[in-house]
Every structure is written in structure tokens, then in C-alpha cells.
Amino acid sequence: MLIDLNVNSAFFKNIFIQPRRKSENYTVPKVDKMSNYLKLFDVKLKNQRVLIREDFNVPMKDGKIADDTRIRATIPTIEFALHAGAAVILMSHLGRPTENQFDAQLSLKLVAEKLSALLSRPVKFISDWIDGIEINSGEIVLCENVRFLSGEKACDENLSKKMAALCDVFVMDAFATAHRAESSTAGVAKFAKQSCAGLLLDAELTALSKALKNPKNPVVAIVGGSKVSTKMEVLEHLLDKVNVLIVGGGIANTFLAAQNNAVGNSLIEKDWIDAAKKLLEKAAKKNVLIPLPVDVAVAKNFSASSSAVIKSIHDVQSDEMILDVGPKTAASYADIMKSAKTIVWNGPVGVFEFPAFSAGTKALSYAIANSDAFSIAGGGDTLSAIAQFHVQDKISYLSTGGGAFLEFMEGKQLPGVEALYVNR
């Protein structure tokens, strides 16, 4: 079967993850022969044993898959390999099991069943696979949880070599685990005969590079979260990349305290107030705007049943906690989005899970969705907020990565991608 591998072909476009914003002329990236890593369409797949590392780490509830978004995201790469005539071997982790111990609740058997339904073809599930797999071209198998194997997380060389021995081509497609140097990500890539990036991984890296390495100005970044300590490296790195840096959640509270605002009983990190002050000073020198809330929604209890009281930031009482930005602040953020050309979003600006304190994040979601900017969003809470406010189709790119998304924003190298450079 001959397949047109031209990226503009109807076949390729049908299976590739399409851009989400109809107003943004963002097309499937063309093959770049100068790329530091090979891509799936650069490699011969016909009659080859192709081992694909995907991310099937899906939420489970009551013995069922609660959300199959990550599984659906892998379908383009899998279908591409199958249509090209490969024998497809899939592997992934699920949860955090104890190595060398089987845990039925973290088995990938249900994922195999879901894949069979999504692909409309049988997906064989293999429990004992590391010492060899029998498979023919056009067939597909899913291996049991890689984290049941001893040495996976430590990137054991012998385990990595065993994985590499299973295939002719290794495809790294799990962006969400690319920041981890494990046997099934970085290890196997070093020892496989040939390694390349899958469609999902390449799309993630292309979108992130568009937003952070070659962005259109003005660039706006939104970084939310409860702790400055977990995001300070991101904030420091972004000062050299953006024109506007919006901070939200507990992070914003610490910055407010750094400007001598009384934040009452709000979540802050007192040990990081000085670091926040220094960041504000650096931002001013670099002409980067960090707009802090001028009004906020407060409550005396952290509860979904609490009512929101809107106050000026100067009127927060000692027994009150800030749980969201106020309407004036939300409106000012929306105005910033109107002029942005690139938007990077990681983290909500309030406790959006509580109805009374969802207004700020909702307004921000709508503002980003209505912007003409290229927008990329990542992180579990961010994607949950986007889903809650039904703006998925109006964000240019939704990243499947959490930790990997953050580490890319920090400017760090991702081991699962670096290994592809070595085995090119």
C-alpha cells in the first residue's frame, strides 16, 4: 500500500491533530530537514517493528477510564504507522506503581479495550512482553504498564536495551513524560536502531517553540498556582521572553505582599516575598509589565459554599482570604489579551472550582478565546478550566504536558527529546 507522506496530503491532514483556531493560519508543520530530531514521516515504516511510547496515563474511577483525552490524542501517530504498513507496539505508564509488583488497578488492559474501539480494530494486550513480542505488519499490541518493570524510572541501561531490541524504529510520542529520563523514554531512544518523534510530540514542540522561541510580539504569559516556589524558575525565564507577565492564585498573593499590600489570611509564601520583590525589580528594568490585582474576591472560609465579597486590594481584612481577582482586574486582563499576538497560559487566576470564585478565570478564558493571538495552554488545572468554560475549540493549542510544559517554559532540556538528537 502506497501512502502519500506529503504533509499537505489529504491523508496526513485527516489524521493529524488540527489547529483549533479557525482565525489563526496555523498549518501542519512542514518537514524540516535541519531539525535536530527525525520525525515520523522521515522514517521508513513499512514492514518495520515500530515501538511507540505514548502517554496513556489517564484518570481512572470505579474501574473505568474517566477521561480518554490523552488516548484520543495518540490516535494520529498510531494510525499513521498502521497505514504505512508497520507492526505497531505501544507502551506507556499508568500511575505510580511499585516496581516489580503487579497492581490490577494500574493495568493498561482497559486502555487496550478503549484503543480497539477508537481504532475500530483489535488491539492485543500483552502482560509479559519485555523478552520478546510476536507481531506482524498491520497488527497492533499494547504492552503492560512499563512501571511494573524494575529499572524503568532509573533508566536502567539493560532494561533500555531490551526495549530497543523489540523494534526497528522507536517513536517517542509522549510529550507529557519527555521531561523524565526513564527507560521507556530517553533510554530506549539511545539504543534503538532508529528513533524519531511521533506526530503528537512534534506538534507539542512546534507549538511551544512558536510561542516561546519564535513568538510574535506582544507576548503575554499567564502563570497561576498556589506556590511561588514551584514557579519561580518559570517566572525568571519568562522575563526574557514576554512583554506582559500575569501571575495568579497564591503566586499573586505573594507578589501583592511583596508590594506591602495586606493580604489577610490568604495563601502566601512568606519566605519567597523577597524573591518576589527582586523579580518585580528585574521586570521593571526589562520593561516587562507584571500587572497585579487592583480588586479581589474574598471570603473568610475556603469553601465551595462561601460567598464572594469584592473589595479593593487595599481593603482586605486580617480574617479574609483572597480567592479570585475582582471584575476591574479581570477587565484589565481582558484588555491586555486584545493586543496580544502570542499567549502562553499555565494556571488559573482564582479558585475556579468554587462557583463564587470562578469569575476571574472564566473572564480570562473568554478573553484568550476571543483574542486573535496564537494561544497555547497547558497544565491540568488550566485544561480543566478551559473545559469548564467550554473554550477548547478557541485555544490554538492545548498541550498534553504538565511537568514537561513547565520545564520547557523554564528553558530546560527534555531528556526524552534530547535522546532523539543522539540517535538521529
Q: What is d(CA 155, CA 164) in angstroms, rounded to the nearest whole number?
A: 13
Which one of 95, 151, 402, 403 is the catalytic residue?
A: 403
Which one of 49, 70, 147, 241 is the catalytic residue?
A: 70
CB atoms within 10 A of CB 157: 13
Which one of 20, 124, 227, 328 is the catalytic residue?
A: 227
Place of cell 476571574: 360
CB atoms within 10 A of CB 165: 16
Q: What is d(CA 48, CA 62) in angstroms, rounded to the nearest whole number?
A: 38
Active site residue 227: yes
Can you give 217-285 as a three-state secondary structure string?
A: CCEEEEECCCCCCCCHHHHHHHCCCCCEEEECHHHHHHHHHHCCCCCCCCCCCHHHHHHHHHHHHHHHH
Q: Using alpha carbons, list the distances in angstroms from residue 394 to 22, 87, 303, 317, 373.
A: 8, 36, 31, 38, 11
β-sheet bridge partners, residue 220 = 244, 343
Q: Using alpha carbons, list the distances in angstroms from residue 45 to 159, 198, 302.
A: 24, 12, 54
Active site residue 401: no
Active site residue 70: yes
Which one of 109, 338, 380, 424 is the catalytic residue?
A: 380
Active site residue 121: no
CB atoms within 10 A of CB 14: 10
**Any idea which residues carry the catalytic annotation?**
70, 227, 380, 403
